Structure formats: structure tokens, C-alpha cells
Amino acid sequence: MSSWPGIIAYYREHLKVDHRATPITLLEGNTPLIPAPRLAAEIAPGFDLFLKYEGLNPTGSFKDRGMTAAITQAAFEGARATICASTGNTAAAAAAYSSRAGMRCFVLVPEGKVAAGKIAGALAYGAEVIQIKGSFDDALTMVREISEKRPVALVNSLNPYRLEGQKTAAFEICDSLGRAPDWLCLPVGNAGNISAYWMGFCEYHANGKAAARPRMLGAQAAGAAPLVLGHPVENPETVATAIRIGRPARGEQALQAAEESNGRIIAVTDDEILTMWRRLAREGIFVEPASAAGVAGLAKESREGRLNLSGATVVAVVTGHGLKDPDAVIQRAPEMKIIPAEVEALDKLIG
């Protein structure tokens, strides 16, 4: 193939999107699987670590995979408007693909809890951004109800086409490694993505495209860890605002994925998330804080002796770009120096 056509065209025979539908695409997918040998060696000896850099999708997160599928199907079915609840990335992706399809897009976000780059994206792409005085979970309840009353297509990951699109990341990983990894690590919020990856790995395995399936290691933020605690969290809190979710819509499916794969879902603290977030940036991979949770979970399990990584191939999904959340960096960075525009001053500073 001369150039990448987007995930629907590339993986069409594996997707349940109507085969007559014309893809609404921004050529998402085909993201790099970046080896991270130095970071791997710090975590444990003798294993291979790859980072699936999903921040390089068109709107800066993995949500584009799900959104191309959901909006393609919605457009095919004649939808004129879409709606979603979001911690930010879903909003930006829904906005972009809806506009591209000529549809209106409504997004509900928790007031004051969404990173600047995500709001900017949603607004720029032309969505009607509605802030609610409540949490993501409240917003999701609202959009579920309204989409049953009004002719607006719900494009949260309750929409099965979202998972169809997102499972293609599992295909890409198998295609580029030539096999399934031993472990797949990723952050878990509303739990659509871990469910989609597991579907993808199972289908590739069933089709004979991968000889095995990975074990899934999902990581929730400790302040928003309903799947670890075993009950909903009423007031979730975490620096990783993308996964500030207390009642995950795909929670049951995620727990099943963890169990069937002989993996697990664990909690990582905000400190552990931020430490790994800084470490990833020093690897040249700038992600938003939530995206570091999967790798932080891997490091924690290894450090605490619950993982034998010897000889293993591990893929950690880093889900969203660092530029989505500039404040996370700026608030924590040392103050920048200011000098006169004179070479002597510069010489003194760096000398």
C-alpha cells in the first residue's frame, strides 16, 4: 500500500462497521511502536519494552480510532448530530470527526476538570462544549438519557463501534511485532480501551494472525479506582484528569478481560503516575499524565515482586499527547530564567 489509508480501510475485513459505509477518516492509526530499552533496564533486567505512542493520532489521542468507526457508522445511518460525555480526549475526537462528517457535536465535560488542550481542540473543531457542575460520571448519565429521547448519536464507548475502531491498535501491535506481546499495559478510565484491546487480541488469535494472546495489565489512578476497589467511587480525584472516572461504563468487560487474560487491574498513586510521566519525557516521549499510568503500573508490579519479566516482550500503551495538558508541566517546572539580550549574560549563565 503506497500510503496509510486510516484504520477502517486498512482493517476493513476485521471490523463490523457497515461495509457499504464511506469512511469518515483523518488517516488515524499506524502509530509508532517505540522501543524503550533504557527505561526497560531500569524496570527489570532482560525484557523488551515498547511504547505504543497513541498521542500521534490526528487529534492527539487513541480516541480517534474509535471515533472514525463510530462516526462512519453514524453518518451511514443518517445521523445529523453526535453527543458524548468526556474528560476531554473523547470530546476533541468526537468534535473533529463530527465536523468532518458535517454533523453537529455536543460534548459534556466536568467544569474545571479538563486539560486546556482538550477544550481548545473541541472548540476549534467546532463542537458545542457544555460544562456541567458535576463529574464525568454525571455527564455520562445525562448523555445516555438524552440520546434515547433525541436523534443524537451517542459516541461514548458504550457505542459498540468505538470498540471496533479501538481494537485495531491490538492488530497493529501484533502486525509490527510479528506476534502478540506477553503483557499489554495501559491506563483504565471508562474501561473502553482495555475492552477493545482484549477484543482485538482475541480476534487476531482466533483468526490465526497471532499465535498467543497477551496478559492485560490495566492501571487506574488510586483516587479513581472503582475496578480495584470493587465498587463505584463517588468523588474520584486524580492529577490524571483523563481517567478521573468513578463508574466505568465498560467496567464489567474490563474485569473480564483482565481475568480471561490471566492479567489484572491495579491502582497507581498520583506520585507514581507523575514520576513515570517525567521519566517518559526524558525518553523523548511527552504524554499527558494519565498516559503514564500503564507504564507506572508495570514498574510498580515489577518493583514489588509481582511480575517476572525475564525474557518477556511488553507493550505499554501511552494514550494521549503531552501537549493536551500544558498546565501539568508548567505548574511543576522550575521558573524559566530571563536575561538581557546580550551574549555576555548568556555566557555567564551557561558557563
Residue 88 makes contact with ligand AN7 by CB under 6 A = yes
Q: Which one of 83-91, 202-210, 230-238, 265-273 is the stretch in contact with ligand AN7 (CB under 6 A)? A: 83-91
Least separation, in Å, of the C-beta of 317 and ligand AN7? 8
What is the C-alpha to C-alpha distance for residues 28 and 194, in angstroms, rounded to an integer?
A: 19
Describe the strand order of the beta sheet including 313-318 as a list of residue ranges.
33-35, 48-53, 313-318, 183-187, 215-221, 264-268
Contact positions with ligand AN7 (CB under 6 A) in 22-51: none
Contact positions with ligand AN7 (CB under 6 A) in 192-221: 192-193
Residue 110 makes contact with ligand AN7 by CB under 6 A = no
**Residue among 340, 193, 335 at smallest CA distance from 265:** 193
Least separation, in Å, of the C-beta of 193 and ligand AN7? 3
**Residue among 131, 118, 133, 127 at smallest CA distance from 155:** 127
Q: Which residue is nearest to ligand AN7 (CB)?
A: 320
Helix, strand, coil tally for the chain in percent (to 5): 45, 15, 40
- Report the residue number, 44 or 185, with the smaller CB distance to ligand AN7: 185
Out of 31, 159, 190, 261, the residue judged to bind ligand AN7 by CB under 6 A: 190
- Report the residue number, 187 or 246, with the smaller CB distance to ligand AN7: 187
Cell numbers at 62, concatenated: 487513541
- Report the residue number, 181 or 294, with the smaller CB distance to ligand AN7: 294
Contact positions with ligand AN7 (CB under 6 A) in 279-298: 288, 290-291
Neighbours of 88 (CB within 10 A): 31
Neighbours of 235 (CB within 10 A): 10
**Residue among 317, 309, 338 at smallest CA distance from 46:** 309
Least separation, in Å, of the C-beta of 321 and ligand AN7? 8
Q: Which one of 67-75, 122-130, 173-181, 182-190 is the stretch in contact with ligand AN7 (CB under 6 A)? A: 182-190
- Report the residue number, 213 or 321, with the smaller CB distance to ligand AN7: 321
Out of 57, 86, 98, 168, the residue judged to bind ligand AN7 by CB under 6 A: 86
CB 86 within 8 A of CB 139: yes
The helix-helix angle for 270-281 and 293-303 (nearest 10°) equals 110
# chain residues binding ligand AN7, by CB under 6 A: 22
Residue 68 makes contact with ligand AN7 by CB under 6 A = no
Q: Which one of 24-32, 170-178, 185-193, 197-205 is the stretch in contact with ligand AN7 (CB under 6 A)? A: 185-193
CB 201 within 8 A of CB 317: no
Residue 168 makes contact with ligand AN7 by CB under 6 A = no
Residue 72 makes contact with ligand AN7 by CB under 6 A = no
Residue 243 makes contact with ligand AN7 by CB under 6 A = yes
**C-alpha distance from residue 235 to each of 134, 167, 302, 311, 345 (Å):** 10, 30, 30, 41, 50
Residue 320 makes contact with ligand AN7 by CB under 6 A = yes
Neighbours of 1 (CB within 10 A): 6
What is the C-alpha to C-alpha distance for residues 201 and 247, in angstroms, rounded to an integer?
A: 25
**Residue among 8, 58, 51 at smallest CA distance from 32:** 51
Q: Which one of 30-38, 39-47, 142-150, 188-196 is the stretch in contact with ligand AN7 (CB under 6 A)? A: 188-196
Q: Which one of 11-19, 36-44, 88-96, 301-309 is the stretch in contact with ligand AN7 (CB under 6 A)? A: 88-96
Using CB under 6 A, list all residues that contact ligand AN7: 61, 63, 86-90, 157, 187-193, 242-243, 288, 290-291, 319-320
